[in-house]
A and B are shown apart, each in its own frame.
Chain A
């Protein structure tokens, strides 16, 4: 069955960096784009970033543009989110979610990971 497992969360000081990973299994990883979605404590869902199935296109939400970088390694079935210049407002549970269409994105998500918590605090 489809599985997405996030890792790499933790506590980091403001201005610091962190790299999240999303390990995928149960499907042909190189056929699907993957999104990152975050949820601040007690708040709603916020779309963060998306990478196409082949890594050819990457999109970012305005609050993270220029600070976060999404990438993928299709040989390792893994998505990464490199987060730099972290701010208190980046504190959230970060979920990876698989796009629901092969190759061309449809921008909805049947499969989600369980999330990893990132806390930005001094």
Chain B
């Protein structure tokens, strides 16, 4: 099994752009899709990016996902930060028979 490592926390000011990384410990990041979830306090997670780059309907285009094979990592980028974006964000992938979540990143909008 592999692990997904995220920074514990990131922060940004309203209107700015932040990027959250998700590094895969072994195996290629490109071998399985990476998905991203937002979780606000006392709420269930909601998906904001699926299949590494796809945005569900209803998720603003300020949210985008990418893959970087050179660093074996995926990234979630949020542009035009809003106070409502303050939440925990989790990356997630899988192998043949296991789901894997990153440890989560707390986004603070200052």
The verdict on A37 contacting chain B, using a C-beta distance below 8 Å, is yes
The verdict on A76 contacting chain B, using a C-beta distance below 8 Å, is no
Q: How far is the CB of B48 from chain A (nearest CB, A)?
A: 11
Q: How far is the CB of A107 from chain B (nearest CB, A)?
A: 4
Q: Which B1-36 residues have a C-beta within 8 angstroms of A?
A: 1, 32-33, 35
B78-106 toward A: CB 8 Å interface, digit per residue (1/0)?
Answer: 00000000001010111001111111100
Contact A45 B90 (CB under 8 A): yes
Q: How far is the CB of B86 from chain A (nearest CB, A)?
A: 17
| B6 to chain A: closest residue by CB | A44
A44 and B56 contact, Cβ closer than 8 Å, known pairs A100-B50, A114-B44: no
Contact A44 B103 (CB under 8 A): yes
Q: Specify which of B47, B98, B102 is in contact with A108 (CB 8 Å cutoff).
A: B47
Contacts of B104 in A (CB 8 A): 44-45
A44 and B44 contact, Cβ closer than 8 Å, known pairs A108-B33, A108-B50, A108-B92: no
Q: Is the interface on chain A under 10, 10 to 19, 20 to 34, or 35 or more residues? A: 20 to 34
The verdict on A72 contacting chain B, using a C-beta distance below 8 Å, is no
Contacts of A115 in B (CB 8 A): 44
Q: A115 to B44, alpha carbons, bound, how many Å?
A: 7
Contacts of A62 in B (CB 8 A): 1
Q: Specify which of A45, A50, A59, A100 is in contact with B45 (CB 8 Å cutoff).
A: A45
- B-to-A contact residues, CB < 8 Å: 1, 32-33, 35, 37, 39, 44-47, 50-51, 56, 88, 90, 92-94, 97-104
The 8 A-B pairs of least Cβ separation, nearest first, read A47-B99, A107-B94, A44-B104, A108-B35, A59-B97, A112-B44, A45-B101, A44-B103
